[in-house]
């Protein structure tokens, strides 16, 4: 370094899968070797064992391994019989994968806005969205915190409307002492590599307590084949492969430890912001935690009207942040035919402009976390 030149700070990535690999490498390599030795790559003992292990972990009766979180939603809606002319209720503040399966089946998404505090479906708007065509409700447990399932079931259950939870970001979460999927038709998981439990490729799962529903999903994922070459139902190839299943089995025992470290990081952010002089930092909100709920912190999302300058400021300091999501689904061009417009869902539109996800991964060093806090405080303090 030349004299007078400041040392460039160590970068803070938004996730560190390399560090995670170092922790699990021995177990993962053994799992891969097991599959190579078996030469069984599709629908075999690893997938079956993973299904049992995840079902036990999640506290549900059945788990069906699938090709992705997107396909889990698609197959779940197919198994519910969703088709042209039907309506499926969900929120516009989510990843496109929650909504695209509805459109692909020829149905229409009817959006309900989100709660300000939790970013999840606001039950207060649910009743008005229900019509005789409503075939399912898909709440999204965004950022690792569950939607208000008690309130949603209180509306859905008496009307006989099935609920399929998008739990892609929330394996391990609880609310009102209930885990994901409890009391619903099912819950879908994603094992995308950056999720709290990630594969080394694509993967997903559907959880359910309904044996007949699980059987239907199992049929649909494999071309509806009751027996080989005899297709009883119109399905597809939505299978989870054995290599991914074995890798996920190797990583599952680490999940609770990783969640605990994510929660630790969330607590440290709270303490560090509390310790900093934030008196004049107007409108900066840390994530709200529903009392008694288990938030698994897939993302740690803060809210501030200075989203763009803050993100740019942090980027110049080597700190990577993300915006989940920059555009609400009612304004996504691929759903334009549904006719939604700007202003339809204020809560979701506002969240898109005001939220920023800070690094919260289990491998985040304490010093990096403190630096993120210091940089935010230095920019936002005394800002008009």
Ligand X SMILES: *Cc1c(COP(=O)(O)O)cnc(C)c1O
Positions in the binding site for ligand X (CB under 6 A): 68-70, 94-95, 97-98, 140, 166, 168-169, 190, 192, 202, 204
Separation between Cα atoms, residue 323 and residue 368, nearest integer Å:
20
Look at the block and give the residue holding tokens 């929330």.
170
Q: In this complex, which beta carbon is closest to ligand X, that of residue 329 or of residue 331?
A: 329
User: Nearest approach, Cβ of 138 to ligand X (angstroms)?
Assistant: 9
User: Nearest approach, Cβ of 165 to ligand X (angstroms)?
Assistant: 10
Residues 6+ apart with CB under 8 A from 32: 243, 246, 247
Q: In this complex, which beta carbon is closest to ligand X, that of residue 91 or of residue 307?
A: 91
User: Nearest approach, Cβ of 228 to ligand X (angstroms)?
Assistant: 28
User: Nearest approach, Cβ of 60 to ligand X (angstroms)?
Assistant: 18
Neighbour-count burial of 243, counting CB atoms closer than 10 A to its CB (0-12 exposed, 13-18 middle, 19+ buried) = buried
Separation between Cα atoms, residue 160 and residue 153, nearest integer Å:
10
Neighbour-count burial of 189, counting CB atoms closer than 10 A to its CB (0-12 exposed, 13-18 middle, 19+ buried) = buried
Separation between Cα atoms, residue 278 and residue 233, nearest integer Å:
59
Neighbour-count burial of 91, counting CB atoms closer than 10 A to its CB (0-12 exposed, 13-18 middle, 19+ buried) = buried
User: Nearest approach, Cβ of 191 to ligand X (angstroms)?
Assistant: 6
Q: In this complex, which beta carbon is closest to ligand X, that of residue 139 or of residue 179?
A: 139
User: Nearest approach, Cβ of 334 to ligand X (angstroms)?
Assistant: 15
191 alpha carbon, distance to own chain's centre: 10
Q: In this complex, which beta carbon is closest to ligand X, that of residue 140 or of residue 266?
A: 140
Q: In this complex, which beta carbon is closest to ligand X, that of residue 28 or of residue 140?
A: 140
Q: In this complex, which beta carbon is closest to ligand X, that of residue 165 or of residue 209?
A: 165
């Amino acid at each position: 370094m030349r004299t007078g030149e400041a040392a460039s700070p160590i970068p803070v990535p938004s996730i560190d899968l390399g560090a995670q690999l170092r922790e699990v490498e021995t177990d993962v390599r053994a799992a891969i070797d097991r599959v190579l030795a078996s030469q069984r790559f599709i629908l075999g003992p690893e997938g079956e064992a993973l299904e049992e292990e995840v079902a036990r972990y999640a506290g549900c009766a059945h788990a069906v391994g699938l090709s992705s979180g997107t396909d889990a939603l698609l197959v779940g809606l197919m198994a519910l019989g969703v088709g042209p002319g039907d309506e499926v209720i969900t929120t516009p503040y989510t990843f496109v994968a929650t909504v695209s399966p509805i459109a692909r089946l020829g149905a229409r998404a009817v959006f309900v806005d989100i709660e300000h505090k939790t970013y999840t479906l606001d039950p207060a708007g649910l009743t008005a969205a229900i019509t005789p065509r409503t075939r399912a409700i898909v709440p999204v447990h965004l950022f690792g915190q569950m939607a208000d399932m008690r309130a949603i079931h209180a509306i859905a259950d008496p009307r006989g409307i099935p609920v399929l939870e998008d739990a892609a970001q929330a394996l391990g979460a609880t609310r009102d002492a209930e885990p994901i999927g409890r009391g619903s038709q099912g819950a879908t998981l994603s094992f995308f590599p950056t999720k709290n439990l990630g594969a080394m490729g694509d993967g997903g799962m559907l959880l359910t307590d309904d044996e007949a529903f699980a059987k239907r999903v199992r049929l649909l994922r494999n071309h509806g084949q009751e027996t080989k070459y005899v297709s009883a139902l119109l399905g597809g190839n939505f299978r989870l492969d054995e290599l991914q299943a074995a890798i996920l089995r190797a990583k599952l025992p680490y999940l609770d430890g990783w969640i605990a470290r994510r929660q630790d990081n969330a607590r440290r952010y709270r303490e560090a912001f509390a310790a900093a002089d934030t008196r004049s930092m107007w409108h900066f909100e840390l994530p709200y935690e529903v009392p008694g709920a288990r938030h698994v912190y897939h993302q740690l999302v803060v809210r501030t009207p200075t989203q763009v300058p803050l993100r740019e400021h942090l980027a110049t300091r080597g700190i990577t942040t993300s915006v989940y999501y920059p555009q609400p689904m009612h304004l996504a061009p691929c759903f334009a035919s549904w006719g939604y417009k700007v202003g339809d869902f204020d809560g979701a539109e506002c969240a898109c402009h005001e939220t920023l996800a800070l690094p919260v991964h289990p491998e985040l060093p304490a010093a990096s976390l403190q630096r993120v806090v210091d940089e935010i405080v230095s920019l936002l303090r005394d800002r008009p």
